[in-house]
Chains A and B, each alone.
Chain A
Amino acid sequence: MTERYMVGSFAEPGPLLSAVATLRRAGVAIHDVFAPYPVHGLDQAMGIRRSRLPWVTLLAGLTGLTFALAFQYYTAVFDWPLDVGGKPENSTLAFVPICFELTVLIGGLGTAGAFFLRARLFPGKREQLPVLGVTNNVFAIVTHVPRESNDGDLARRIMLEHGADEIEEREGTS
């Protein structure tokens, strides 16, 4: 079913921040806020929880580490042990650098991949912009507008008070 949104666009981050804060205090459900750069304090203002992506990094990194160590040990000790400079077949210390590199590689790629999944970003995805210029110099607040209530008017008023340039109401599928 379609849903109604209130989109308010701002020229400056300051008013945006205070508007977001006020809206939340007033209990208006904020769908999302759009900005050309990450505005400091907006997370707190919106009450976004800190991302759990670092855990993905840890898991992926450990996977890389384990794989690297196991693989080197297997090839050097079991699959075809050779006398290389009289060194022991299991020259663990010599395996350390590659273990480290693979930890970082898998960890990094895993994190990036997880981010794209979580943020639903993929090549060629059609962008959905609340207002034009949101990637250039416009800040925008998008709030939900429940049908049977006057929250819409409340949101509109708060945004206007904080100096929104223009406000429009839209239909959209969630």
Chain B
Amino acid sequence: MNRRPACEEAETAATAIATGSPLVQIGLPTGTRSTGFEASRRDVLSLMGFSLGALGLGSGCRAPVQHAVPLPAASTEMVPGVPNLYATTCGACSASCGLVVKQRDGRPIKIEGNDASPLTRGGTCAAGQASVLSLYDDARLRGPVWLGNPVSWEEIDRHIKTMLNAGSGDPRAVVLLSQTITSPSALAVLNDFRVAFPSFRHVVYDPMSLAALREANRLAHGAAVVPHFRFDRARVVVGLEADFLGTWLAPVEFARQWSRRRTADGERAFHVQCESGMSVTGSNADLRLAIAPSELGPFAVALLAAVARRVSDDGLAGLRGAGLAPDAPHAAAIDRIADALARHRGEALVVTGSNDVATQLVVAKLNALLGGVGKTVDLEQPSLQRQGDDAQVADLIQQMNRGAVRALIVWGANPVYDHPDGVAFTAALKKVPLTISLADRRDETGAHVRALCPDHHFLESWGDAEPVRGQFSLRQPLIAPLHDTRSGVESLLVWAGRPTDHRTRLRDFWQRELHPRALGAGPFEGFWERSLERGVVEMPQPAVAVHAFAGDWQGAVRDIVTRGGRPPTEAYELALQETVGARDGRHANNPWLQELPDPITRLTWGNVACIAPATAAAQGITTGDVVTLTTEVGKLELPAFVQPGQERRTISVAIGYGRWAAGKAGDGVGGNVFPLVRVENGLRRASAPVTLSKTGRRARLAPAQTHFSMEGRDIVQTMALGQDKHEAEHEHEHEALPNLWRERLHGAHAWGMSIDLDACTGCSACVVACQAENNVPVVGAEQVRKSRIMHWMRIDRYLEGDGEDVISHHQPMMCQHCQHAPCETVCPVLATTTSSEGINQQVYNRCIGTRYCANNCPYKVRRFNWHNFTANDDFPFNMTSPLGRLVLNPDVTVRSRGVMEKCNLCVQRIQLAKNQALLQRRPMADGDVATACQQACPTGAIVFGDLADAQSRVSKLLAGRRAYRVLEDLGTRPNVGYLKKITSKETT
């Protein structure tokens, strides 16, 4: 018995494989830093300094980063083999979530959510989880490039400064075209720039913009802001083409808020989603309506009218009968929704992602009418994300063409790729004397500029963020810059003639601007230390001045009504869709995200044209047929995908694909749909009329799942809202299966997991988290086609019914850790056994790869290394690149060819927690261990713990009435259980 742990040892045995080789090679590809790892390691040490927390235990405690301290002291911080955790801020999108990043031997290897963040409470998204891999992306620039030649920073600065200062007094503008900047300190830097160059202008750019929302709020409430939506305060949520659980605005925060009102007991929120294409949000709604983009406005008007009828409000008389014709579809549904909304005035929230001002205005009126303003819609402490202004961008292009711009700095934006009129933008670029890109790679836009001044990856740089007014968050470097890059802020400061290093600048800004507002924060030093350590700070800001709704909503209604709904022609509508994997395309070269199966289509490596089953049947189109989508501005060939739930006359296409300068992994994957839409009166549309035609060719998709029906098997079990209470007396009905053998005794623990199918939205953050934590290889499209995807955790999707209204379920599926495991009995060489702590463990160096275990696994969660997926040029992904291998987790064996692998409940984390408990001379407590998937989950759907401890959360959950085991009747006795999904067709 005492020799059992050997099996766990075996897992960590080959750590050297994971770390050794890359560590020594790190410098090589980086050109300028070809001094090997030792050099960069020393930099890391001097940069990290020692941490207060780490002095004690080393591992597990977050610590702030200070300036260089003597190496002996530093070495006490970096205990080899012990991870350090540092708080920082995510840079994957403008949501700027608070993060805690795990650093091993000076390398950031895993991104986790920051529990201290009041917005996300430890949640993350798939893109955020994957962004650590982008740090080690081979496509990143190694240093500045001037006119295509690598140069030194000094030289390129000289060129740029001379050109910038040459025309002092030159009326032509110096323009910074940037993504939404949520960093207050960076925005302050822009002011310096403005001083240096009076003609300076800052244009904010978002590929999926919310300009109309801000405009509508300006008209309605006198403040052009993106409100801070509070789903946690809403009893009724109506989403109109806004995928707020998956991609819209701040999905991690919203998912958490939303799930807090979706509890099985107590007041459960009623969620209605109206959208054209099936989204993560729609797949989780209690009521989902398929609505074409052009119907959105009329629908909103009809909803307003219906609500108005219920809440008697003067001045709404004009509305009667407005909007959709009474015979319009959804008329009944609209009444039902209106009832729900009206019943919960002050607790209702309507959000729309439409980029049409009139529609946004009507929705704003709805929220005002329902008393949401100030409650569910916070305008006074608004969100500072997605500040893109389409009108200014359009105006900028005109000015560039007119030659009114003498310098253009592009920072974090890539308009040549993702602007509807990228071609025109490219042409306009040519007319600007000085064009600079701060992108980390020579991307589509970078290919047309004179100077490439690569910015740090966010894990290499300092910074801060204010995603929501009053909610601050700090960013600190986790590693010395891998390449000869420079923080964008420093670049701007240098060119503005105020060279300062980023950290000093940041610190000064916080000392000068923020510290005074932090009430009772004490002296700045302590405040700074605490802030860095905690990562997030709440500092109340003066409220934005807003007034009660005073917008001309009648005008808006009139616009919508006169504009009419769907054009009567037989034309289809194209709808751009943002997906959790690809997002807006900036992460295109991240193989983890490319291979992340979309939670809805379950497709990897590419986008498709989603077509409704009815339409597909009528057109004789089947999944895989290549179709041509033609709008008045462009055309695109894509494989068709028959998508139940898709609106009949709408074709949804995911954005973020079809890049041509992203890098090896991202180039030429899928098709770029941005050029198919237009910018109309200053707003970029997310939809357009489109014609559909078959090419007769077929494409081979790369799906991770091909069958979506449960075939009448109760795999995902549901219960009606409140049913669990009724069933209280029937508890005994659930009898246990007899055991053929006497129960085997367990060790101190019996690790188990509970997965709440009601809370799981399918966002897939856990899938990437698992991949990052467990060194799961990327296998590429061809292997996925052969259904050889390696993910240890997958999110199965099942559909009930087809056509337009379908019920969909998401079910995270990984090794169920059966106590009567079918896989173990059949393994000839004892390569898989149950540990003394109930973990079904796989011993890689004993496995000979008969695959009998996988055949005998009813859950099909075992994954086989069909090839050598690591360090093999046939699979040119991160594990094959010396740089990419830096992301590998040293605690987890990199599996060789021909062995079986699968989820092991993050056994390395369990061991770490055990060691800590041992060092602290205390028994392990519930919650000491969080598996990677659990930590990543924004809705807390996954709970891991000790089933031997009856008081642990997981024990209580799995003892509850909602608990069940998948395929329980097979008698496999899994330690992983599921909580039934709640179906509520009405509001409570």
Is there a contact between chains A and B in the complex with CB atoms less than 8 Å apart?
Answer: yes
Q: Which residues of A contact B (CB under 8 A)?
A: 80-88
Seed contacts A84-B830, A86-B821, A88-B742; 19 additional CB < 8 Å A-B pairs: A81-B1, A82-B4, A82-B830, A82-B833, A83-B824, A83-B836, A84-B824, A84-B825, A84-B833, A84-B834, A85-B818, A85-B820, A85-B821, A85-B823, A85-B825, A86-B741, A86-B820, A86-B834, A86-B973
Residue of B nearest to A76 (CB): B830
How far apart sit A137 and B398, CA to CA, in the bound complex (Å)? 113
Let me know if B741 and A88 touch, CB within 8 A.
yes
Mark B1-33 against chain A: 1 for CB-CB distance below 8 A, else 0. Answer: 101100000000000000000000000000000
Which chain A residues lie closer than 8 Å to B833 at the CB level? 82-84
The A-contacting residues of B in range 815-843, CB under 8 angstroms, are: 818-825, 827, 830, 833-836
Which chain B residues lie closer than 8 Å to A84 at the CB level? 824-825, 827, 830, 833-834
Question: Shortest CB–CB separation between residue A69 and chain B, in angstroms?
Answer: 19
Let me know if A87 and B825 touch, CB within 8 A.
yes
- Secondary structure of the A contact surface, majority rule: loop
Let me know if A85 and B1 touch, CB within 8 A.
no
Let me know if B742 and A85 touch, CB within 8 A.
no
How far apart sit A84 and B825, CA to CA, in the bound complex (Å)? 6
19 contacts between A and B (CB under 8 A): A80-B3, A82-B830, A83-B824, A83-B833, A83-B834, A83-B835, A84-B824, A84-B830, A84-B834, A85-B818, A85-B820, A85-B822, A85-B823, A85-B834, A86-B744, A86-B818, A86-B819, A86-B820, A87-B825
Mark B827-865 against chain A: 1 for CB-CB distance below 8 A, else 0. Answer: 100100111100000000000000000000000000000
How far apart sit A84 and B826, CA to CA, in the bound complex (Å)? 9
How far apart sit A87 and B836, CA to CA, in the bound complex (Å)? 14
Q: Which of A80, A84, A88 has the most CB of B within 10 A?
A: A84
Which chain B residues lie closer than 8 Å to A81 at the CB level? 1
How far apart sit A63 and B597, CA to CA, in the bound complex (Å)? 58
Residue of A nearest to B826 (CB): A85
How far apart sit A84 and B835, CA to CA, in the bound complex (Å)? 9
Residue of B nearest to A83 (CB): B834
Residue of B nearest to A88 (CB): B741
Let me know if A85 and B824 touch, CB within 8 A.
yes
Which chain B residues lie closer than 8 Å to A85 at the CB level? 818, 820-825, 834
Which chain A residues lie closer than 8 Å to B973 at the CB level? 86
Let me know if B820 and A83 touch, CB within 8 A.
no
Q: Which 9 residue pairs spanning A and B have beta carbons closest together?
A: A85-B825, A85-B824, A86-B820, A83-B834, A82-B833, A84-B824, A85-B821, A88-B741, A86-B819
The A-contacting residues of B in range 766-821, CB under 8 angstroms, are: 818-821
How far apart sit A83 and B234, CA to CA, in the bound complex (Å)? 50
How far apart sit A86 and B834, CA to CA, in the bound complex (Å)? 8
Residue of A nearest to B833 (CB): A82
How far apart sit A77 and B287, CA to CA, in the bound complex (Å)? 58
Which chain B residues lie closer than 8 Å to A80 at the CB level? 3
How far apart sit A85 and B970, CA to CA, in the bound complex (Å)? 13
How far apart sit A84 and B744, CA to CA, in the bound complex (Å)? 10
How far apart sit A45 and B834, CA to CA, in the bound complex (Å)? 68
Let me know if A83 and B744 touch, CB within 8 A.
yes
How far apart sit A82 and B824, CA to CA, in the bound complex (Å)? 10
Which chain A residues lie closer than 8 Å to B820 at the CB level? 85-87
Let me know if A87 and B3 touch, CB within 8 A.
no
How far apart sit A85 and B740, CA to CA, in the bound complex (Å)? 12
Which chain B residues lie closer than 8 Å to A88 at the CB level? 741-742
Which chain A residues lie closer than 8 Å to B742 at the CB level? 88
Question: Shortest CB–CB separation between residue B872 and chain A, in angstroms?
Answer: 33
Residue of A nearest to B1 (CB): A81
Which chain A residues lie closer than 8 Å to B822 at the CB level? 85
Which chain A residues lie closer than 8 Å to B819 at the CB level? 86
Question: Shortest CB–CB separation between residue A89 and chain B, in angstroms?
Answer: 9
Q: Which of A81, A82, A84, A86 has the most CB of B within 10 A?
A: A86
Q: Which of B742, B819, B825 has the most CB of A within 10 A?
A: B825
How far apart sit A84 and B822, CA to CA, in the bound complex (Å)? 9
How far apart sit A87 and B818, CA to CA, in the bound complex (Å)? 12
Question: Shortest CB–CB separation between residue A84 and chain B, in angstroms?
Answer: 5
Question: Shortest CB–CB separation between residue A60 and chain B, in angstroms?
Answer: 27
Which chain B residues lie closer than 8 Å to A82 at the CB level? 4, 830, 833
Residue of B nearest to A81 (CB): B1
How far apart sit A147 and B827, CA to CA, in the bound complex (Å)? 73
How far apart sit A83 and B830, CA to CA, in the bound complex (Å)? 10
How far apart sit A20 and B973, CA to CA, in the bound complex (Å)? 76
Question: Shortest CB–CB separation between residue B904 and chain A, in angstroms?
Answer: 15
Which chain A residues lie closer than 8 Å to B4 at the CB level? 82
How far apart sit A153 and B742, CA to CA, in the bound complex (Å)? 83
Question: Shortest CB–CB separation between residue B817 and chain A, in angstroms?
Answer: 12
Question: Shortest CB–CB separation between residue B811 and chain A, in angstroms?
Answer: 24
Let me know if B830 and A87 touch, CB within 8 A.
no
Question: Shortest CB–CB separation between residue B836 and chain A, in angstroms?
Answer: 8
How far apart sit A83 and B741, CA to CA, in the bound complex (Å)? 12
How far apart sit A87 and B824, CA to CA, in the bound complex (Å)? 10
How far apart sit A83 and B839, CA to CA, in the bound complex (Å)? 11
Mark B173-202 against chain A: 1 for CB-CB distance below 8 A, else 0. Answer: 000000000000000000000000000000
How far apart sit A82 and B2, CA to CA, in the bound complex (Å)? 11
Which chain B residues lie closer than 8 Å to A87 at the CB level? 741, 820, 825
Residue of A nearest to B856 (CB): A85
How far apart sit A86 and B745, CA to CA, in the bound complex (Å)? 10
Question: Shortest CB–CB separation between residue B854 and chain A, in angstroms?
Answer: 15
Question: Shortest CB–CB separation between residue B858 and chain A, in angstroms?
Answer: 13
Which chain B residues lie closer than 8 Å to A83 at the CB level? 744, 824, 833-836
Which chain A residues lie closer than 8 Å to B825 at the CB level? 84-85, 87
Which chain A residues lie closer than 8 Å to B834 at the CB level? 83-86
Question: Shortest CB–CB separation between residue A94 and chain B, in angstroms?
Answer: 8
How far apart sit A81 and B4, CA to CA, in the bound complex (Å)? 9
Residue of A nearest to B745 (CB): A83
Question: Shortest CB–CB separation between residue A23 and chain B, in angstroms?
Answer: 62
How far apart sit A134 and B950, CA to CA, in the bound complex (Å)? 86
How far apart sit A84 and B823, CA to CA, in the bound complex (Å)? 9
How far apart sit A87 and B3, CA to CA, in the bound complex (Å)? 19
How far apart sit A83 and B823, CA to CA, in the bound complex (Å)? 12
How far apart sit A88 and B825, CA to CA, in the bound complex (Å)? 11
Which chain A residues lie closer than 8 Å to B827 at the CB level? 84
Question: Shortest CB–CB separation between residue A77 and chain B, in angstroms?
Answer: 12
Question: Shortest CB–CB separation between residue B831 and chain A, in angstroms?
Answer: 11
How far apart sit A72 and B823, CA to CA, in the bound complex (Å)? 20
How far apart sit A84 and B829, CA to CA, in the bound complex (Å)? 11
Residue of B nearest to A84 (CB): B824
Question: Shortest CB–CB separation between residue B3 and chain A, in angstroms?
Answer: 7
The A-contacting residues of B in range 655-684, CB under 8 angstroms, are: none
How far apart sit A85 and B819, CA to CA, in the bound complex (Å)? 6
How far apart sit A87 and B835, CA to CA, in the bound complex (Å)? 13
Q: Which of A83, A84, A85 has the most CB of B within 10 A?
A: A85
Question: Shortest CB–CB separation between residue A91 and chain B, in angstroms?
Answer: 9
Residue of A nearest to B820 (CB): A86
Question: Shortest CB–CB separation between residue B747 and chain A, in angstroms?
Answer: 10
Which chain A residues lie closer than 8 Å to B1 at the CB level? 81
Residue of A nearest to B6 (CB): A80
Residue of A nearest to B971 (CB): A86
Q: Which of A81, A83, A88 has the most CB of B within 10 A?
A: A83
Question: Shortest CB–CB separation between residue B737 and chain A, in angstroms?
Answer: 12
Q: Which of A80, A82, A88 has the most CB of B within 10 A?
A: A82
How far apart sit A83 and B824, CA to CA, in the bound complex (Å)? 9
